[in-house]
Every structure is written in structure tokens, then in C-alpha cells.
Structure 1
Amino acid sequence: MSMGVSKFGLVDSKVELVVLVAGILAMFYAVTAALSLSFPDFTLLVASCLIAALIGRFKLTIPSTSITFDPRLVMSFWAAVWLGIPGAVLVTLAALISEMAEEHDTAPPDIARLAAEVLVILVSAHAYSLAIANFQSKAGTLTLGGGSVPVEIILAVFVMAAVYFLFAVLTTGLRAEARSAKDRRAATEKPTVIARSTIVAILSTLLLVLAVNHFGLELAWLAVPAAVAVKLAHRIHVRSLEAKTAEIKEASRLHLATVEALATAIDARDQVGLGHVRRTQIYAVGLGRILGLSESDISALKMGALLHDIGKLAVPDHILNKPDGLTPAEAEKTKIHCSVGASILEKVGFPYPVVPTVKYHHEAWDGTGYPEGLRGRKIPVTARIIALADMFDTLQEDRPYRKAVARQDAIETVRALAGSKFDPMLTDIFLRNLEIFEAEIEANGLGPESIGNGQAVSDLRLEDSVNPNYVDQIKRANHEAFTLFSLARDFSGALNLSETLELLSQKLKDFIPFETCVVYLLDPNADTANAVHASGKHAGDVLGRRLILGEGATGFALRSRKPVGNVDPALDFAFSGAEMAASFKTMAAVPLIAEDRLIGVVSLYAAKIDSFQDEHLRIFETVAKIAADAIEKAMEHAETRLHAHTDALTGLPNSRALIAEFTKEVQRAGRNGTSFQMLVLDLDGFKQVNDTYGHKFGDSMLRGIGNVIREQLREYDFLARYGGDEFVAIVPETDLEFVRGLSRRIEDAVSAFELAEDGGTARVGISIGSAAYPSAGQTFDELIQIADREMYRAKEFHRLRRAGAEQLIEVEQAAAGNSSEISRSGTYRHVRHQPRAAEKPSNAEAPIISTDSVQ
């Protein structure tokens, strides 16, 4: 039978089979007993099972401790107190089933574990029942705040917790013993974890009992929606994390663009010059012989010195070649090279201790090193020697993140680290014999002056040397890889088009000798491209140039979508700029293609070299390929930003742009001590235009009026469509007199504007109100409100004038006073008057459009 059950993945041994059968019987007993509960107890059981199913799987670790709060265990204990053995078993079962249901995609259900947990709770709840019966005669109540807990319950809960701990440890140990050695190792840590969780569960259970005693059993039902909220919040949080992960992966796409790395030597890949490993070997072997180490250890020092950094093959180039400090995550990544190097060398099977030498050569004397944090003499002596020799030599070489230090500075650094990073005895012996080691290094021709370590990392320009040694070639390859990675990383964060193009020009300059860089972007509505960026010689003459596809070498690259290299620059300037063509000797052009879509071309012009090398052209194509995606992204961002701040109907800025402009003007006024006027302009009679001619005609009217108003404003004034038939203008550095004149000009221009339609000619009027910053108001809402009041006052004035109520106008003018501004604290009341036909003066203006009523 055991074999049959094991076949289906339920158990792995006879012990687990016994536990499984016992657990099933316990479940059956619990279900049967629950059916005999009273209705209130049964509903309480349902609520408890629901809460346990919702939150039972959430285990919380108390900050700065290893103590875990287990809601499932608390709910089980609480159910044993209030609902007895059946309640405790069913609550535990509900929590476990819910947990397994959520984990079914990542792990198969562990039925044996479920049975064991149920069995332990059954025994624990039974112990509680016996204990509560035994302690029933002991009177007493513990009172806390407004609630109380009988002493017998407290004692019984402790008994239940003790039984739970013993049986939990027992069943865990039996199951681990019946399974693999890996599980058995995990079980040795289990008792302490179980003990801490049990203690927390005791306290939480008693607090829960206290709360229910005080607030009543209704608290359980009130906890259900809270549990549902916790569950939903957890799911939302998980989905949010998944969405963020997807966003990060997408953002990393540019980071993972083509990064070429030619690594033929480990030390050169890490920007270390010639001779480092050999000098490290001489230092290490010399110190080992002075210490009288065995030949096995000496052999380990010889090989370990050569191979101690072989594990850096597993560290990305961009980390090894990073010119500034590493992030914590990057620093952790570099630490894997010790373990990786040891794993590589284990496959070789050295007869001497090379593997521990390589693995532990970054351990520190005080235990702060890696990978295992060994301390003092627990670190193999060969590893301690390699650590000392490696650092002393490395300090005297240039690295991507720092310059080399002088010999005496290196000595002082090593001496200062004795007792913390290095073995103090070995450090003392090493420094006292340093001249002997250095003499041997010079005798072998390995001194820095004898070898020469080639070019510095930052000087590895392709035009600097025709026949570099192999170390310089490897350094150059890795420098190229890091620069391309940096380019992809920088491009991914650059959304401004001009910044992106400037970055492209700068990065190309790191590798390719040129005097002028020009970027053309394709006009999607025509067979032309515009020079949107130019840097270097004659940049001002080239910027803004319009190029026809197929015209010159750059135009050919655009039309054919293929790179062009080492051609006569005169081809590009045959139609214009003959003098410019004479300034250059060669040129190259590479089309910008993003996801198979042509977006532009980059052209480089050189004056100091006769032709570009093949490496120049290869890198040019690689950089252009990386840049194309970033440029397209920046263009899309610019277009989206434009649409977000532009009114689609009129082409004017919208309300979002208006608020942004207002903020700028406030800041400028604050800096310069100036003011500005905000004008609210609302059309009169526009509704009749829409009603008479239709909304499409009305849209044309709005566009036309917008252009009319814009023509009356100064070049630096700002006009936006605020909504409907309302416009808002910001007019800086003006006074009230200027605004009055401007308003009259706008009114006259709008009144004179006509829009013809088959059915007739339409005209509208306009009412304007203004408010001054900062005298009338200091916030956008304040100024809009005041200017809006002024506008409605002007609108009422126009209505009354058109209606012929001159007498009423005089009354309102007298009431308003000579000033055309309304105080911020004052109120204005419209006086409504319906003039009779006899009151209409003979000189009243005609309505703007023919209609019975005027808005």
C-alpha cells in the first residue's frame, strides 16, 4: 500500500503513510463533530475558516529579529479555545488547503505535510481540552484594560502550546529522517524556529481571546472583511511587483544592446597591464620560501598567483571596467569570482592546494572578507600570501577607477591594513624582504619600466597607435564594450531629443577621429531629411540644412538604407558649400534604423585623416544601431509631450500648458520684481453660430478667432484655449492702460472677422476681462476668478449696449466706479432689465449675427 500511495506522490515512506492515515481520520472526526455544533458556533467556525484561508499563509518576521508571527497557528489555537477540537482541526485544514492551492503552480501539494499538521493540532487541541477540565476548579481571572481572561484558559493555552511544540518537532524530525539528507539538515534548525513561533502564537492567542471577551464574538465576523482586504491588498501588491518587473525588463532592452568584448587574457580584460601575475607570483613564492612552506604549498602559490582571478570570467565587463565606484549590487557580483574560479579549477584536479588558495584569497584577517568570512589562521596561509602580494602590485598600476599610487604609498597602505585585511606577521615579513623580491622582478625584466604597460585605459583611441601590443588590443576591446554599454544605459534614460543627439556625437568621438558630426532626421511627410544636430567644424553652416533622399553620399545612405564609408565629402556639398567640402578629406554616413523603420542618418566628416579604418566603420555602425532606438524613443516622447500641451482643435496651447506657463511667469516675476496681466476672452454669440451653421463651421470659427487674437498679441505673449469658446492670455510686463488698448484692438479685430458659409456670413463678438499679478491675486485660481468676473461684466455691458439700454449702462458704470477692475473681496450683482422695443436707441449696434436673441 505504501508503494501505491508513494506512486502518486503523496508519501515517501511508511512513517509518512501512518501520519497520512492518522491525519485523514482526524479530518473525518473534525468534520463529523462540526456538524453537531450549534448554529452560532457553526457560523463562528465558518468565519474562522474563511479568515484562516485568507491570511493563514502570510508569515510575518518581526523586524531586526528572527521571530516569526504565524497567523495560521494563532487561528488554530484560538479555534481550540472557542470551538474545541473540531474547530481547531478545520481551521488548520482551511489554511493549509488555501496555501497549497496558491502554491500549486510552483510545487506539488504535500499531502503528508497537511496530514501531519492536522494531526499535531488535533493532539494539541485535545491537550487543551484535558487541561481546561483539570484547571476548571482553580478560580481566578486576569484582567487587562477593559477585558479579562480566566486563569484556567491561560494555563490550558500554555499546555496546548507545549504539546504543539513537542509534536511539531517530533513529526518534522520523523519526516526529515524518512526523506533526504538535505531535509535532515534543515530539520536541525527547525526546533528553534518552531519554539519562537509558538511563543508568539501563545501571546497572540491570549490577546485575541481577551479582545473577543471584551468586544464579543461579533469581532470574528468583523475580521472577515479585514481579512479579505488583506488578501486583495496582497494580490494587488504581487501584481504590481510583476508589472514593475516587466517594466524594468523593457527598460533594460537598450542596456542589453550589442556590447562586444574580445577577451583573450583575464588580466588585460580587467585593465591590468603586462607582468602583474608574474610579479604577484614572485612576491608570493618568495614569501612562501622565507616562511619555509612545503613544496606542495609553494606549487599552489605558483599556480594560484597565475590563476587567482580566473573567476572574473563570470563578472560582466561593464562592472570590471566601470570608471567610478561600484553599487552594492555590483560589488556583490564581483565577489563571485573567488567561488567561480575555485569551481573552474576543481575540474582540473591539482595535486596541491590551488583551489583553496584561489577561493579564499579575498578573505580578511578580521573576518570581514569573502566568500565565507573566514578569520585569522582559519584562512589558508597560501591564500593569505596571495592576497598580500596581489594587492601590493595592483596598487602600483592604473585601474579604470583610479590611478596608480607610488611605491611608498603602496607600502604605507599595506602596512595600515595589517591586522584588519592582512596577516600582521606576514605583512611585516613581506615588507622587510620587499627589496629582495623587487630585485628578482627586475632581474626577470618584469619591472614597470622594463615592460611598459601600454596606454592608459582612457587613452585607447583607435587612431593613437597603428600596431598596439596584444594587451592594448584587449584593453581597447573591453573599453569599447564598456563604452557601448554606457551608451545604451545613458540612452535609455535620455528622453530629450537634443540631449540624445549630443550624447551620440560625444560617444562617437570616444572612438572615431572626426571634425564634424551631422544628424539628419527624416521628414515623414516628404522625401527629405532635416539636419537637426551638428557639432564641430562648420556646424552652424550645416545645421538646418534640408537634404533630398538620394542627394549626395548622405542622401544615398538614406535612400539605400546602407552605410557609406570613405567617400569624397564633395558629394554631399556638390549643390552648396563647395568651400566646406574642401575642408574635409573623407566622410562616412550610417542610416538610423529603429525596428526596421528608417528615421534618419548620421554623417561624420574628417579633416585630419585620409580614410576611416575598418574598426572605425564597424563601431560607427554599432553605435548608430544602439542610438536609433533611443532617438526614436525621444522623438515619440517629444511628440507625446507636444500633444499633451496642445489643443487639438485650434493648435493653441491647452489648459495644461497654460498652468505651466503661469508658473514660469510667476517665477520670472518673482526674480525680476515685475508683474503680468491675465486676460480671459470669451466669444459673444458663438452659440448662435453653432446652432445656425453647425459644429464643424463653429470649429472653423474657433480656429479663425484664435489666429485673430494671436495676431494682436506680442511675440512673447502667451495665448491658450481654456475650454469651449473661452481663451486665456498671459501678457507680461504691462499695465492697465496697455491692457485696455489691447482689449480694444482685439475686440475690433474679432468684430471685423467674418466667416462665409453658403447660408450667409457669420460674425461673433468678444468680451475681455483682466486681472493683474500680483496686485489682484497671486494664484492661478484667484486671477482666473477675478478676470472671469471682469469678462462677464464686459459681456453684460455688450449685451445691454446691443439691447439699447444706455440709461442702465450709465447706472452700472456709476456703480462700478471709474476703475475697470473689481476688488478681490467685493461682489458684483448683475441688474437684469428687459428693454422695450421703444427703448432701443437708433444708433445701437446691429447684432453680430441675425438672430432673435443674443447670447
Structure 2
Amino acid sequence: MGFLVIGESLIHLYRVPIGTEWLFLAFLTLISGSASIELPRSNVSISISEAFVFTAVLLYGPAAGTLTVALDGLVISFWIAKRRPEAYRALFNIAAPALSAWCSSKLFFYVSGIEPLAERPASLDEILPALVLFAVTYFGLNSGLIASMIAFQRRANPFQVWRSGFMWLSLNYFCGASVAVLLVGYNRTIDLKFIGLVVPLLLVLYFTFKTSMQRVEDANQHLDQMNSLYLSTIETLAMAIDARDQITHGHIRRVQAYAVGLARQVGVPDENFIKAIEAAALLHDMGKLAVPEHILNKPGKLTSIEYEQMKLHVKVGADILSAIDFPYPVVPIVRHHHENWDGTGYPTGLKGTDIPIGARILSVVDCFDALTSDRPYRPSLSDDDALQILMQRRGNMYDPSIVDTFARVHKDIAPEALPPGPPRDALNEITTARRAATLPIDVARRTASSTAVHKTLTARPPLDALVGGAKASCMGDALAQRLRQLIPFSLCVLYLNDPEAAELEAVQVTGKDWSFLKGSRIPIGQRLSGWVAANRRTIVNSDPMLDLGDVARVVHPLLLSCLSTPVVLDDQLIGVLTLHSEVEDGFSDEHGYVIEVIAEQVAETFKLADLKHTAHQGR
């Protein structure tokens, strides 16, 4: 459409020549347009050329003004092409302003009822009302088209883009119209002397504005440095939280990537609000520092009391973060990311759009990543199954429009794979320190409630006595025999640690039709036994699929629960002992205590076997 009006203007000037004086205005437009100023943090450039565009329209009509704008757009396109060489940008920068100038100038002459001033003079009273309409229309059309193009590229709301980046630029158009009136208001022609007086004023305006924009850019760079400092602090805190519970290692990073990507897709226009979502995604689980680990990692449904304790994490997290003077609204997002769309969430029961949009975005992506990650109490779901659950909760737990958008774009905004390997040393120290602080408490609790079991265990001969001092690799039958007397199970797997490969190897398998598992390997930190090895925590009544995959649901009878504990000696990981049962919730906390004691005896047996092997070699 823009090129059609350019063609129409060329034909009009060919049929109705207006002389060459307007070319001088076109020249001034090109000179001023080439000295455009790019606004900080945007793809928008402005110049002082509007004054000469308005002048060309007033003196010579819509055709001259349209071609002047088109030439200005062409020059700006070449200038921008040095940094952003896309062809469609150049075409758009030529066509959109030309179309805007042609439509608004046609409206000006229609409303004013005058002819171009170079043909017939008119009073200022005749010009002024229509000129205001001209400026408003020209600004509205031109800025609206540009904002729509940017919104299309960003998949954002056009009005929000226009309001945040273009609304205040109306002053530039009204100033241009005012200068045009000064240029032609009295002479009705191009007076070089008068232009010689006005151009220096325009230059002063240009350099003043350019200096101001440079100061804005400097301030933005300083703000970036401050943001970087904030983010560094945030990331350090977030990694400490992530290290506390390695079953969700990488969770906050993935949630952050999803949240920022989804925020842009749903049209969040404010970059500061994007940064708020970015920070909140990292820190949304900060309050879990106040939740006991046995609740965080409980392999089953929480009791009502435990659930109330878990719910406190959003309030605690928000209260902790309130002490930090964030330059963007992080705290409301963290506080309300467990609110439900229908008002049944917590902590305050907000409903619908009363819930901050950042919290609505975070709740969707947090749920999706949790569903697609392994937990001690269930295996991960596929993306399709997780999306199906989100769709089921659409309209009651989650904002329908956000769920729909996420379902459409989740593959496009999916985070890149996290780098493999263990956390940094400092994070390992956090995990080790917490493990050392919590395990004795758990053992003491179990010991206090399991005195009879403890007496039974200690009254039995140690495992090395059962195997008659044989090599440790031959103790599997004795181990299974000992366990069957104390814990009912269908499958027993003893994994040994291979520290060089950072894997567990199944060296002993006891159970009907499960011998094919022998020799299988599990990376440390993956699956259930790998998680137990990495965290050195006993897990009771988890899902066997976490270790065995779909085969746990294929082989009959089905395995429905498992019990796993680390085998550790002198803080060195020996392996993992995992039992599986055909009974749902087939293991008790008392069984957990029993297997821990057995694991200690297994570790001692391995130590004794190694000592005997070393002594034998020394003979």
C-alpha cells in the first residue's frame, strides 16, 4: 500500500509539475534524516526531519510530502542496514511513513479546504486546526504501523508496545509542525534567510537531544551493572537452595528459562517486569529453607499438618526477599505463585487477574517442570502427559490463556540442556553439611522407636560370619537370606559404586525373573538408586519405575513400591541396597531403619573382605 501511494505521488508530480524548489526541502530532509538518533533500548530512530516534511506538505501538497518522506525513509534504511541488514526493514521504513504522510496530508487539505500554500496563500487561522489534525494523524498512523511491526516480531500486544515506546514521541511531530508554520506562515515560500535562522535552532535541538540520549544510555549501562550485581546475588542464593535438594537439581534454571520465554510470548512488554520474572523464577523456592527435608522429599502424600508446613514456604520466601530492595516487583511474584485461578490457592486466595501475571506464568512453568522431572515418589512424565495435566487444570488452577500459550510454544522456549557433572565444591559442601546434620537425627528417631528391632539385628551374627569369610562379591545370597528374615520383598538389588565412571553397577540381583538386571548401570544422581547414592538418604515406598523404568509395569507380578538406602563406610560410598515389593506402600519406616543397619553391616563386610584380600596378597 505504501508503494502504491509513492507511485501515485510520482505520477501526480509528473502530470502537475511544482518546480524544483521542493527538492531543496527534500535535501534538508535527507540531511537531517541521516543524522537520526536511535532511542536507547529500542529499534526506533528519530530525527528532526519532520519539520521539513510538514513544510513540503504545506507548500507543495501531499505528493511532494509523500516523496520527501519516502526519500527520508530510504536514507534511514541504508543507515540502519549497516547494523540490521534485513531487507524487509528497509522496505517497511520506506512504505509505512509514506503511507502515513499521504493519508494524513490528504486529510489536512480536505478538512482545511485550502490548496498548497505555494499556489494560494492562506491565513494561520485557516491552517492551524487542520494542522493539529494533520500532526495527530501522521503521528498516529506512522507510530502505530511501526509499533505493530515490532509487536508482530515480538509476538506482543501492539498497544502496549506503542504506549511504552512511542507515545511520548508525539512531541517530535508537533514540534515539526510548529517549525513548519514558522517557515511558511508568513512568506508562503522557501525563504533561505529564514531557513538560515531556523536550521541552527534545529541543530541545537538535535545535539541537545543526542546528548540527553547518551546520558540515558549511560544511565542504562549503570543500571545493567546494578542488575548484574543483583542477578549474581540471586544466582548464588538460588544455587544454594538447589544444592539443598539435589533431586530437583537444575529445576530453578529450567523454570527461569521457561518463565522468561513464556512472558515474552504472552506479551509482557516491560523489560523491567521481565527481569522481575527472571529473578522470581530463581528465588521462588527460597522459603523452602524453612521446610524440613523429610517433608520436602517425603515419598508419598503429605499429612494435613505437613501440607500446612509446606504452604508456609511462599510466605517465608516473600518475607525473606522483602529485605532486598529489588528495582522490580519480585516479591509479589514469589508470594503468589501458588495462587489458583479460581481462588482456591494460597497464601491469600487471590483469584483471576488479581493474581500478578508473573505469578500466573511462574505457576504454570513450575508445575510443568516438576511433572517432567524424576522425584523419589514418582517417575517423570512425558511432555505430552504433563501438558495434558496442565490442560485439565486450565481454568481452575491456572490462567487459561497462559496455559494455551505455553502448550503452543513450550518446545520453542525449552531451555538448553544443563551442563553435566556435579555441582561446584561449595554446593557439595552445603549438601554434605546438611546430610551430616540431619541423618543422625533421623537415625536417633528411628532407634528410639525400634528398640526391639535393634535387639533382633544385633543378636544375629554379622554378614561376614554368614559367608564364612568369603570374598565380598559372593555375599549376595547371605544378604538376601538375612533381609528376608526381617523385610518382605520380591526383588533385592545390590549396587556397587564405580567412582571412576560415577556409576552404580548391579552386582547382585535376587528375585524371580530379574536376573537380567545384573550388570546394569545407573549414573550417580539419576534414577532412584542414583539419587540415594548422591544424597545418601534412605527413601521409603518410592515408585519402582524410577529405577527400573517401564519394565516395572510389564513383568508380573507388578512391583509397586521400593526401599533404597546407601551403603557408606567412613564417608565413602560403597554402593546402594534397593528392595522392591509387589505390595503398594509395602515398606514401613521401621523397615527403613532395618535396611540402614543392614547396610552398615554390608559396608563392614566389604571392609573386612578387603582387609583379608590385602593380607592374603602380602603373604
TM range (shorter): 0.3 to 0.5
TM-score, L = length of structure 1: 0.27
Rg (Cα) greater in structure: 1
Higher relative contact order (CA 8 A, sep 6+): 2
